[in-house]
Structure 1
Amino acid sequence: MFRLPRFLTIVNFARNLSKMSTPPKRSTPSRIGTHNGTFHCDEVVACFMLQQLPEYENAEIFRSRDDKVLRETCDIIVDVGGEYDHEKKWYDHHQKPFQETLHSLHPEVSKDFDIRLSSAGLVYSHYGERVIQRILEKEHQKQLSARNLQLAFVQIYRNFISELDAIDNGVPMFEGGEPRYKISTHISARIGRLNPSWQEKDVDIEQRFKQAIEVAGKELVQNVLEVCCSWLAARDYVREALENAKSVYPSGEILLLSTFCPWKAHLADLEKEYNIEGVPKLVIFNDGQSWRVAGVPVTPSSFLGRKFLPSAWRGLRDDELSEKAGIKELVFVHHSGFIGGAKTREAALAMAKKSIEWPEEAE
């Protein structure tokens, strides 16, 4: 009977032992690891975002708290494992030394983004721009310019992700007068309710987790589309009005919007960008039926304006107003003076110019 030499037998045994102790390399699909048990909105959104990327779009989501198994069998791990290491693709935020914020990972964005990141914010910080582009490609076959992509990245964090970070980390909304973040979706509470209640028995929690990903994913996609297809377009219109302001009125205090859009928050941001804070006083736009002249508010949510329409015009309408102002085709001025209306662009422009030149009044 033929026998292998003893040293070859030992070598083969060693090789077999190595195969037993080292998990085999897996082929596609890839695997996303997160914790099992009760799920939370941050890892649900993190998993959805990763599944938008080509390398994880067919990935299995493996839920466990066994760190050894997760690290040996998963391509990327979120919200579990006790470690943050971008090179290894480990994204946990629960360990005490972890204090990363959007600003710390992206120093180019505002220092105001100082909320400690959850797994959603951590994944978004590293992959958010790619996720945004992929969602736009899938939904509208659209790509953003580098500038608009960065704007969208920041705005989606402000609108959506920061809320998840703050709630998951127990950050108080108010510390002083201004809120540190806004709750615009209540998605964390809705995802939380998909977990089985204490009275539910024999519930397939993995199926509930899949349902949570669908709910949270739909919310994120809607937010991306709103920001990238509507919010950015509005910003472009306001930017155009701001850049052309001195052709409307030499001081730049009157803005003429070529198309009506939500403009107050955009104007506040763009004034800082152009270093002209407080200069614009009135904005002219067409609301679809007539022209409007609106005072720029002190802050986007304020009812106080930088400039009011003259008190002598307030509360008047139509012919009476036109006669008092000496401008034909006026429609109304609100009794508080924060807005007025006209039938034509020319009449609205005359109303705005005359208001700017009106002597200062005590309000």
Structure 2
Amino acid sequence: MNLGKLGRTTFTQLRQCGWGPLQIRKLCASPMSDPQGTHAAKRLKTAETPKVIGTHNGTFHCDEALAVYLLRQTSTYTNADLIRTRDPAILDTCDIVVDVGAVYDENLKRFDHHQRGFEGVFGHGFQTKLSSAGLIYKHFGQEIIGDRFRLQPEDPTVKTLWLKLYKEFIEAIDGVDNGVSQYPRDVAPKYRNRTDLSARVGWLNPAWNEPFDSKRVDARFVKASTLAGEEFLGRLDYYAKAWLPARTLVADGLSQRAQVDPSGRIILFEQFAPWKEHLFELETELNVTDEAKPFYVVYPDETAGNWRIQAVPASPDSFESRKALPEAWRGLRDEKLSEVSGVEGGIFVHASGFIGGNKTKDGALTLARKALEL
């Protein structure tokens, strides 16, 4: 018996009787005296039927490889079977279908993006057309994040991580799969990058002159799905355990800056953490006016045990500072810096005035306060 001869109606009947699609496939692969599966279906009627994820067969891509992995991180599909096919009759037996079928309908559990007229985006300011990875992440991402860190769905941390991971990880996969250029058409890249996740997944497909039987390709797909999924979870863990604590530290420093200096222009961190990205994002979110934005950040050096004073850049990628350290201090070191600045413990001030150092916290804070007046 083969899948084509079994027929759509029989597929549906078997699924309703408790048959899983993988069991149906085994049925089709071996001869049986009961071709309709009636007696076998009765025996399996009370058995728990695993959920089944459907996607297309043949050459695979990063988006559906990741989409399948993400679904298996949810409570509903954690132990789901997988069928790779383009046969509509078989896809109709699946509990959820991604990247094939020409339908996007959350209620029907259909998540394709190839159909004419589909222009779905993630929202929240993002404009890149979604692939199957983005579609699944949009609908299931917050559940995955909440479950992984045992957070309630309404916890604001979940939404913060959900948006961050789309921006830093998922959107690029959507863009590559949909052929959305990273650059304006009149700007040509100076080199080609084929080391991104989408490219690495693509390389797992059999080469044109290798055997392309379904068993081989399905095995490669499993490897690709694991690769994409493990990288996703690694990035998610980093943002939850490293990026988010740094954001909290910066938020606290920003809110408490008036306690450091009445001007509110100096932020003090008692421990080093990456702060630039968070500071600019928080200033925007909190509608901090230009008159209230900090000029300097003081923090302990992460290696030497000394302290740093750094001027906040004019913009995230700018080499210009909102208020560079005084010109008279620039390029000076050690005793000479202490003499000219009038602050003991001087170590250096960069020639551009964007950063300087002192041996103590009090010394670095004094430099910052003096710099405000000059």
TM-score by length of 1: 0.85
1:14 is aligned to none
Summarize deviations over 1:316-348 as a string: whole Å, max 9, x none: 111111110011112110111100001111100
Q: Per-residue CA shift, 1:213-252, capped at 9, x if unaligned?
A: 1111110011100111111000000000000011112221
How far apart are residue 126 of structure 1 and its match? 0.4
Q: 1:299 to 1:255 in 2, by over 3 A?
A: same
Counterpart selection for 1:82 from 95, 98, 102:
102
1:202, distance to aligned residue in structure 2 (A): 5.7
Percent of aligned positions with the same letter in both sequences? 43
8 Å CA contact 1:101–1:117 kept in 2: the answer is yes
For 1:66-145, what aligned pairs fall within 5 Å after superposition? 66-71=87-92, 73-103=93-123, 109=124, 111=125, 113-136=126-149
> Is 1:345 aligned to residue 361 of structure 2?
yes
Question: Residues of 2 paired with 1:341 and 1:84: CA distance?
Answer: 56
- Name the CA distance, whole Å, in 1 between partners of 2:316 and 2:152: 29
Q: Does 1:49 find its partner at 2:75?
A: no
| Cα drift, residue 143 of structure 1 | 7.1
The answer to whether 1:325 aligns with 2:341 is: yes
Q: Distance in 1 between matches of 2:67 and 2:285?
A: 32
Q: Distance in 2 between matches of 1:147 and 1:277?
A: 24
Whether the 8 Å contact between 1:136 and 1:225 is mirrored in structure 2 is no
Q: 1:126 to 1:21 in 2, by over 3 A?
A: closer
Q: What are the superposed Cα offsets for residues 289-318 of structure 1, whole Å, 9 maximum, x if unpaired?
A: 211000111222222111110110111111
Q: Aligned with 1:292: secondary structure?
A: strand
- Counterpart in the other structure of 2:327: 311
SS at match of 1:171: coil
Secondary structure at 1:22 match in 2: helix
Q: Which runs of 5+ in 2 are unaligned?
A: 1-8, 19-47, 188-192
Structure 2 Cα separation of the partners of residues 134 and 154 of structure 1:
16
Equivalent residues of 1:135, 1:224 under 8 A apart: no
Q: Contact 1:45–1:120 at 8 Å: present in 2 too?
A: yes
Query: CA-to-partner distance for each residue in 1:35-62, whole Å, 9 max, x for gaps?
Result: 0000000000000000011111111111
Contact 2:11 2:89 in 1 (8 A): no
Q: CA deviation at 1:22?
A: 3.4
Q: How has the CA–CA distance of structure 1 residues 20 and 129 changed in structure 2, closer, same or farther, with 3 Å as cutoff?
A: closer
Contact conserved, 2:206 with 2:212, CA < 8 A, in 1?
no
Aligned residue in 2 for 1:22? 13
Match of 1:299 in 2: 315
Alignment match of 1:159 (pick from 165, 168, 190): 168
Aligned to 1:4: none
Question: Does residue 237 of the first structure (1) align with residue 249 of the second (2)?
Answer: yes
For residues 317 and 152 of structure 2, the distance between their equivalents in structure 1, rounded to whole angstroms, comes to 32
* CA–CA separation in structure 2 for the residues paired with 1:299 and 1:177: 25
Q: 1:334 aligned to 2:344? A: no
Partner of 1:213: 225
Name the SS for the 1:293 alignment partner: strand
**2:159 is aligned with 1:150:** yes
Give the aligned length.
Answer: 326
Match of 2:286 in 1: 274
Aligned to 1:188: 198
Residue in 1 aligned with 2:178? 169
Question: Alpha-carbon deviations, 1:107-139, whole Å to 9, x = none?
Answer: xx2x2x1111100000000000111233335xx
Counterpart secondary structure, 2:298:
strand
Q: Tell me, yes or no, if the aligned pair for 1:248 and 1:254 is still in contact at 8 Å.
A: yes
Match of 2:273 in 1: 261
What is the alpha-carbon root mean square deviation over aligned residues? 2.2
> Take 1:92 and 1:20, find their aligned partners in 2: how far apart are those partners?
22
- The aligned counterpart of 1:361 is none
Q: Which of these residues, 199, 203, 209, is aligned with residue 209 of structure 2?
A: 199
Whether 1:61 and 2:59 are equivalent positions in the alignment is: no
8 Å CA contact 2:313, 2:322 repeated in 1: yes
